[in-house]
Structure 1
Amino acid sequence: MKKIDINLIREDMDRCYLCKKPRCKANCPIETPIPNIIQLYKDGKIDEAAEILFNNNPLSAVCGVICPHEDQCLGNCIRGIKDEPVKFHELETYISSEYLKNARFEQVNKLNDKIAIIGSGPAGITLAFILAKKGYKITMFEKNSQIGGVLRYGIPSFRLSGEILDNIEERLLELNVKIRYNTLVGPVLTVDKLLEDGYKAIFIGTGVWNPKPLRIKGESLGHVHYAIDYLKSPKSFRLGKKVVVIGAGNVAMDAARTAKYYGAEEVIVAYRKDFAHMSATKAEINDAKEEGVKFELFKAPVEIVDEGVVFIDTKMVEEDGKEKMVDIEGSEKLMEADSVIIAVSQSPKNNIVSNTDNLETNKQGLIVIDEIGHTTKRGVFACGDVVTGAKTVVEAVAHGKKVAEAIDDFCKNEE
């Protein structure tokens, strides 16, 4: 994580116009009251500002670091039209991180209803905080040895400090949230078993952990890895000196930067289109460039071989008024690499769905829900990436808040 200079933050906040109709707030998926927070900070009411941030977004300390700010608050700052935009996310990170570190929570209300939360990623953490504060008995089931989901096992620690996640865990424990580590729900401990054991409602927030393949020859070779697997434990991989990353999203950037961080001398991101079509944020791309990651554009993988990847050149053409990418015949060429990392999106694992009756999924394997997050199985709710596919953390939190209220209503009505 980048170091924060509180003096520079203070100077930057003085530049804010404190707009009455703030575009920064309107373009935040969770509608963070940005001018209000800045005013409280300037008035010295930091604790009050921190509490408002947390109550609006339990993962504000995380979102301040990893949100695509250029598409949200930063990119919609009025000040940024003719000047540098106000970097509110840096203030958010500072205030929220300190709050998580120093705040002490207590579960005041005590209800008898038990709620199971499967998965401890952004959506699961959000629901755990909201429902535990309401007094519910929460048990969180996590397949790994630490909570965080994609925050812990999909984002490099040099981008998001593990200390933030550790502090989140401490605050959850203070609210009497029980955490069952190394527990995979599905094959043995099923959803039906949880319902039999008296859980009033169950939430599924297991994310998307199955890597999508390229479906080209050579994908099973020993020097080929999927980014989502690599990022879980990069220290255990021996990638060699030259690494080629195939993909253009934030996961691809994370994998490329991580490979550089752990010693690869040359890391190349190969993509079939240009920078303008990359799904990664400009900030992520620029960070990768600054850290020495190289880019090869208009390259589509044809085959992976022992020596590296065979790419074919591509180009964009206009056909019937629409842009279309085509291969340039005869342009195949080997790009040598000691290791290849594939980063072309993910899909959900089916360990829960395949062991649960009446739980419907769509063609992509994503869980089907109604407008409030209720699945096709009564008492079972879901949201986050397992419903939408890979999205941003703040979107998972925003959806999680709505589903938490739906679960609360469901439990009350069941009584």
Structure 2
Amino acid sequence: MKNLLNEANNCLLCKNARCQKNCPINTPIPDIIKLFKENKIEEAGKILFENNPLSAICAIVCPHENQCSGNCIKGIKGEPVHFYEIEEEISKNYLKNMKVTKPKSNNLKVAVVGSGPAGITVALDLAKKGYDVTIFEKNEKIGGVLTYGIPSFRLPESIINLIGQRLKEYGVKIKINSLVGPVVTLDKLFEDGYKAIFIGTGVWNPKKLNIKGETFGHCHYAINYLKSPHLYDLGQKVVVIGAGNVAMDAARSAKYYGAKKVYITYRRDFEDMTATKHEINETKNEGVLFNTFKSPVEIVDEGIILADTKKVTNEDGSTSLITIENSEKLFECDSVLIAVSQEPKNNIVINNKGLDVKRGGLLYTNEFGQTTREGVFACGDVAHGASTVIEAVVAAKRISKSIDEYIQNSLMEEIEFTS
């Protein structure tokens, strides 16, 4: 706590704080730091939770270098204030000790499909308003990407369990191992009296490399591997294809669970990687090695064949990536993990009429989160593609308001029709 107080004392409490302006959910950072310095921890925790119910998680997994810390004025000439460390301490304590008063029920049912960041946020927001919310989660644990995509050594499962406990205290019902789509259809949910349905099922279908050998036994998709990394026997030498945060998490997990040598292989350079600098540095610090300017050609029994690539400058000043002819070489390894993005599963779309999709299988929604089917809403990765946890929370808070307005307007129309 003393070190965190020193961190708080370094804050200038700017009136027009750049850190707050660059926080996607507009966390009142100077106010929180002021309360922390005054030892008003519970008050600060309540503000954080009301503003962002996943504050304890975002403090750990947000790309702070692009948001609060990366825009701290003290970071221009020195070390920025690491607000997220203070936020984590406050939010974890508040989540652990908060007292929940269950709101009076309005007897209106809402179904939330998926319990990732968006689903949790929508469920909490609507439960606070008195809605009878049921979460349908296809896995045995809630959390979505928080549980099955981010390694537990990065994001402790205890935090997600606490959130699950708070959901239940607010009256939210959680149905685990409940897949919505083929058997439990949207029609069935509406028939059972749900006034609205929210879809927040994330993006869980891995994208293929479309190279020969992808089905071999020593080749796995990183998003599948991260669901239960302790069950995989990857051997001693592992190659991860890709350079996003999923690739970094997969590489770190492989190292954590016993692989001696783990390589991130990417066809471009560090500056082009989509993973945050913090994630890349953490991955390096844990002993993962990087092969840049290498492109996968074929997966073989002995490992993977890679070709050299290089950047070239075009006449108009732009750059292109080309593969160097006859540069293919075998890179021996025991396992290959493919981490080149994900797309939504289509079990809901295939089995339920009226849901239109965009390119890549993403659900089509308008600015209010409404899909092309009446009463069905969506946001987060399933509608906008893979994004950060905080972006999912921001979208979910907006869409929960849309759902509330939709239901209330529907009730008014029913009254007018019957009167």
Shorter-chain TM-score: what band?
Answer: over 0.9
Local SS of the residue matching 1:364: helix
1:5-58 deviation line (CA, Å, top 9, x unaligned) = x21111011010111111111111111110011011111211111000000000
Q: Does 1:327 align with 2:323?
A: yes
Residue in 1 that maps onto 2:101: 106
Q: Does 1:119 align with 2:143?
A: no
Letter in 2 for 1:190: T
Letter in 2 for 1:373: G
User: 1:302 deviation in Å?
Assistant: 0.5
Distance 2:322 2:375 in 1: 48
Q: Does 1:51 align with 2:46?
A: yes
Letter in 1 for 2:331: M
Residue in 1 that maps onto 2:132: 137
Q: Does 1:403 align with 2:380?
A: no
Distance 2:167 2:102 in 1: 10
Distance 1:400 1:377 in 2: 18
Residue in 1 that maps onto 2:352: 356
- Number of equivalent positions: 410
User: 1:104 deviation in Å?
Assistant: 2.2
Local SS of the residue matching 1:361: coil
Name stretches of at least 5 consecutive residues in structure 1 with no aligned partner: 1-5
User: 1:106 deviation in Å?
Assistant: 2.0
| Alignment match of 2:230 (pick from 231, 235, 250) | 235
Letter in 1 for 2:134: T
User: 1:112 deviation in Å?
Assistant: 1.1
Asked if structure 2 preserves the Cα contact closer than 8 Å seen for 1:119 and 1:141, the reply is: yes
Distance 1:291 1:364 in 2: 34
User: 1:271 deviation in Å?
Assistant: 0.3
Distance 1:104 1:352 in 2: 37
Asked if structure 2 preserves the Cα contact closer than 8 Å seen for 1:239 and 1:264, the reply is: yes
| Alignment match of 2:312 (pick from 317, 333, 336) | 317
Local SS of the residue matching 1:374: coil
Letter in 2 for 1:120: S
Residue in 2 that maps onto 1:193: 188
User: 1:349 deviation in Å?
Assistant: 0.1
Asked if structure 1 preserves the Cα contact closer than 8 Å seen for 2:344 and 2:361, the reply is: yes
Q: Does 1:278 align with 2:258?
A: no
1:14-413 equivalences in 2 (<5 Å): 14-319=9-314, 320-413=316-409
User: 1:228 deviation in Å?
Assistant: 0.3
Asked if structure 2 preserves the Cα contact closer than 8 Å seen for 1:104 and 1:171, the reply is: no
The percentage of aligned residue pairs carrying the same residue is 61
User: 1:213 deviation in Å?
Assistant: 0.4
User: 1:109 deviation in Å?
Assistant: 2.4
Residue in 2 that maps onto 1:3: none
Instruction: Give the root-mean-square deviation of aligned CA atoms.
Output: 0.6
User: 1:108 deviation in Å?
Assistant: 2.2
User: 1:358 deviation in Å?
Assistant: 1.0
Query: What's the TM-score once normalised by structure 1's chain length?
Result: 0.98
Distance 1:174 1:108 in 2: 10
Letter in 2 for 1:80: G
User: 1:365 deviation in Å?
Assistant: 0.3
Letter in 2 for 1:407: I
Asked if structure 2 preserves the Cα contact closer than 8 Å seen for 1:311 and 1:332, the reply is: yes
Distance 1:315 1:65 in 2: 35
Asked if structure 2 preserves the Cα contact closer than 8 Å seen for 1:41 and 1:49, the reply is: yes
Distance 2:114 2:45 in 1: 26
Letter in 1 for 2:22: N
Asked if structure 2 preserves the Cα contact closer than 8 Å seen for 1:212 and 1:347, the reply is: yes
Distance 2:118 2:19 in 1: 23
Distance 2:390 2:172 in 1: 22
Asked if structure 2 preserves the Cα contact closer than 8 Å seen for 1:316 and 1:325, the reply is: yes
1:50-91 deviation line (CA, Å, top 9, x unaligned) = 000000000000000000000000100001111100000001
Asked if structure 1 preserves the Cα contact closer than 8 Å seen for 2:103 and 2:127, the reply is: no
Letter in 2 for 1:143: K
Distance 1:382 1:282 in 2: 30
Name stretches of at least 5 consecutive residues in structure 2 with no aligned partner: 412-419
Distance 2:262 2:51 in 1: 39
Distance 1:108 1:393 in 2: 27
Distance 1:410 1:105 in 2: 27
User: 1:369 deviation in Å?
Assistant: 0.5
Local SS of the residue matching 2:371: coil
Distance 2:95 2:308 in 1: 49
Local SS of the residue matching 1:90: helix
Asked if structure 2 preserves the Cα contact closer than 8 Å seen for 1:186 and 1:353, the reply is: yes
Distance 2:87 2:410 in 1: 39
Asked if structure 2 preserves the Cα contact closer than 8 Å seen for 1:104 and 1:174, the reply is: no
1:96-115 deviation line (CA, Å, top 9, x unaligned) = 11111111212222111100
Distance 1:128 1:158 in 2: 27
Distance 1:7 1:163 in 2: 24
